[in-house]
A and B are shown apart, each in its own frame.
Chain A
């Protein structure tokens, strides 16, 4: 069996950034395994712009953004195999991939998980009603329209205000469809404010907050949905029910990190992120298996994905050079109002970057990271919303290596 210093599963933005950064750290023997014909990940279908402001200081389209990393990887001579789907990973870091040439088996001294995520479906939410044609997930719709040149319908409703749904509201409108509205069960949108502005408001597409789709109607092709307004505990409010006709329903109801391979290898997952539990080096509980990008936790901006993968690559490089990483025995506990956080474990000996999301929108608030009585970091914010990931660097100087850490948010 072939072995490599690092084998990267998934050649999207996270996998590419990791490869480039490893090369820069002198790790030469790397292989990226990608199931698609092309590298670039989900960005290949994101033809709108707005990528790269944080990472490159310019705004690029999705394919342009990923091309930058593909070019860097090529210049540095990163080996890649495409059209190869990893179908198995075990705890000894042996990878099996299906390719047209046969089964590819390789072992990585380090294995990097960058498989991205998948979309939550209608079935997972158990949306009542019939099961006609014309109900699509937003990412699937994006793929049909942008990669397969295929139009899904004419009269569209969107359930869920996730970013991809918002982007598709605009895209389908530009392609001549009538987008009649976006329904969101929460009292606030789950997508980014700029997407609400540029994708809905600019096109007069109404956003119905605190509204839920309670039934899908139509026998063969979808004909409409019943929608109802809900109260704070998501109970239907009597007398608010409305019927909207449509021929297409697009679901933008959340993304789930794709961790079947990770589970097969014995990687422990965090129920809040649906991704691996990692330490400050982005190493999972299985030594030598690392994770970054959407497979670890869902990101809204690719720039953060790249940066996270680059940070992970530093940890992988150190692991490969020293054969091990410092022990990370301290847990970071998330307070009630924290949606999730990464990493979940730290050594207490080094600076590290904390990424987190709040559970609900806040006005003026303060994020605080403590270790026992010591406040390690506090950050005042004018507002915080679940749609936007927050990053903060926690300095090592005040940390001890015995007590667990705690993160909370409070109003000021």
Chain B
């Protein structure tokens, strides 16, 4: 196995994969070291999936600039990478004078940042455009949108891989040594050497930052829990509905439609320091039920299909202050390294603009030769469920496996699952299939299709029963055969 590269990217989430993809435009040997078994097991797979407008952030901060750039560009990116996306806009609703004052401030900030199309509307207009929402007034943010964070991250990674980047899963970097401007990155499966190291390690970026010799950041993580609602009620929510920011400037529980028609309720906000915790807790489930109902009438138990949580990679800097902005750092005394820390929300929206800035930093040091065969276009798996009857008939005619429904809730066929099992990144977990096809994501949560997916992994990939993984290396599904 080749272990010497031009660039070693530590962390293959949306940021690491965007960096890999943008660097694959050039003649470079690129390795992405990822400690998990997939690219969406970190924060990139545990967020709201909102394409932010940029209205919220400090003027001229990287968060503002990158999110506005990413936002403006996204129709093209979605087209290029075949990522489901809808520019549905977003609403921030408020009640009473105090909230009006705070919302006006947000409105002014947005105008000041140059966010297009912002306007305040009254109760009647709010009701006419979003009947299930309530408020005395609301701010309309027309450029906001919703996207599938799984598909987007996977698409970036697949496009990077198509163009030559190599992904190494189950490869956690455990330390870094530098000799001059050459790096050795250690993993339990052997060393990797490279001329450049890019820190895209998300929740662990503070650690990699220390290894590289950049600032000593410390984790000050924030956990957010969610409830997912059934598609049945998704039709009642046209666009995300947020409450007016609270006195700390944070958004309390909001509701966001997903691109596939479910509704996300959340996140809650809870400081967890240096912990990583994705569990659902009764306290937060109660908060979500109570506060979610203020935003959307259908936040009711009978519509729950799943809980999840995300962890914000918030860090404190050397002064002990919470780092407010993205950090995209290079230093003369640490040659050939780019350090990305504090890539918090809106990191999903900003991932390509961040990646382009990484490329600029490298270009400032060396001349990059374009990769002539670079192809920016990536096509996803054709989804049976989204086709007209005539197109469905055509798909089945082209591949009979499109006529076999594996997942009844999301109407995913055997052909799609098979294609997902043979993905270019080589991801082979049951959850990997889920993120690539939506199988098991519906209301029965795999009751019907999980057995079939497990059988298919055995047939298509030759996995033994005790080798089948739900999501992680230690997450085995079965102990073996029945005796």
Q: Which residues of A contact B279 (CB under 8 A)?
A: 128-131, 215
Nearest chain-A residue to B307 (Cβ)?
A: A126
Residue from B405, B408, B455, B482 within 8 A of A175 (CB atoms): B482
Q: Size range of the interface on B?
A: 35 or more
A10 CB, min distance to chain B CBs, angstroms: 12
Interface SS, B side? mixed
Nearest chain-A residue to B469 (Cβ)?
A: A133
Q: Which residues of B contact A76 (CB under 8 A)?
A: none
Residues A220 and B474 in contact, CB atoms below 8 Å apart: yes
Q: Which of B281, B402, B477 has the most chain A CB within a 10 Å cutoff?
A: B477
Q: Tell me the chain B residues, 413-469 only, with Cβ under 8 Å from chain A.
A: 413, 443-448, 450-451, 454-455, 465, 469
Residues of B bordering A, CB below 8 Å: 227-228, 278-282, 285, 301-302, 304-308, 384, 389, 392-393, 396-397, 400-405, 408-409, 411, 413, 443-448, 450-451, 454-455, 465, 469-483
B7 CB, min distance to chain A CBs, angstroms: 30
Whole-angstrom CA separation of A288 from B393 in the bound complex: 28
Q: For the complex, is A74 an interface residue (Cβ under 8 Å from B)?
A: no
Interface SS, A side? mixed
Q: Size range of the interface on A?
A: 35 or more
One digit per residue, 1 when the CB lies within 8 angstroms of any chain B CB and 0 when it does not, for chain A 66-108 equals 0000000000000000010101000000001011111100000
With contact pairs A123-B228, A123-B445, A144-B451 given, residues A102 and B397 touching in the complex (Cβ less than 8 Å): yes
Q: For the complex, is A333 an interface residue (Cβ under 8 Å from B)?
A: no
With contact pairs A129-B280, A133-B469, A139-B447 given, residues A123 and B305 touching in the complex (Cβ less than 8 Å): yes
A19 CB, min distance to chain B CBs, angstroms: 22
B37 CB, min distance to chain A CBs, angstroms: 11
Residues A100 and B396 in contact, CB atoms below 8 Å apart: yes
With contact pairs A103-B393, A133-B475, A133-B476 given, residues A145 and B482 touching in the complex (Cβ less than 8 Å): yes
A45 CB, min distance to chain B CBs, angstroms: 10
Residue from B228, B308, B403, B478 within 8 A of A150 (CB atoms): B478
A1 CB, min distance to chain B CBs, angstroms: 12
Whole-angstrom CA separation of A341 from B408 in the bound complex: 28
Whole-angstrom CA separation of A122 from B301 in the bound complex: 12
Q: For the complex, is A377 an interface residue (Cβ under 8 Å from B)?
A: no
B341 CB, min distance to chain A CBs, angstroms: 25
Q: Which residues of A contact B446 (CB under 8 A)?
A: 140
Residues of A bordering B, CB below 8 Å: 35, 83, 85, 87, 96, 98-103, 118-119, 121-134, 137, 139-140, 143-145, 147-154, 175-176, 214-215, 219-221, 260
Q: Which residues of A contact B444 (CB under 8 A)?
A: 118-119, 121
A134 CB, min distance to chain B CBs, angstroms: 8
Q: Which residues of A contact B389 (CB under 8 A)?
A: 96, 103
Whole-angstrom CA separation of A154 from B479 in the bound complex: 8
Q: Which residues of B contact A149 (CB under 8 A)?
A: 481-482
Residue from B280, B474, B475, B481 within 8 A of A126 (CB atoms): B280
B80 CB, min distance to chain A CBs, angstroms: 31
Q: Which residues of A contact B483 (CB under 8 A)?
A: 151, 175-176
Contact sample, A vs B, 21 pairs, CB 8 Å cutoff: A96-B389, A98-B403, A100-B396, A100-B403, A103-B389, A118-B443, A118-B448, A121-B445, A123-B304, A124-B304, A125-B304, A126-B301, A133-B472, A137-B447, A148-B451, A148-B454, A151-B480, A153-B479, A154-B479, A220-B471, A220-B473
Q: Which residues of B contact A125 (CB under 8 A)?
A: 304
Closest 5 CB pairs of A and B: A220-B474, A123-B306, A133-B470, A133-B475, A85-B405
Whole-angstrom CA separation of A129 from B283 in the bound complex: 11
Beyond the given pairs A133-B469, A153-B478, 5 more chain A to chain B contacts, judged by CB atoms under 8 angstroms and listed by A's residue number, are A99-B403, A102-B403, A103-B393, A124-B443, A215-B279
Whole-angstrom CA separation of A221 from B477 in the bound complex: 8
Residues B475 and A148 in contact, CB atoms below 8 Å apart: no
Residues A140 and B405 in contact, CB atoms below 8 Å apart: no
Nearest chain-A residue to B308 (Cβ)?
A: A131
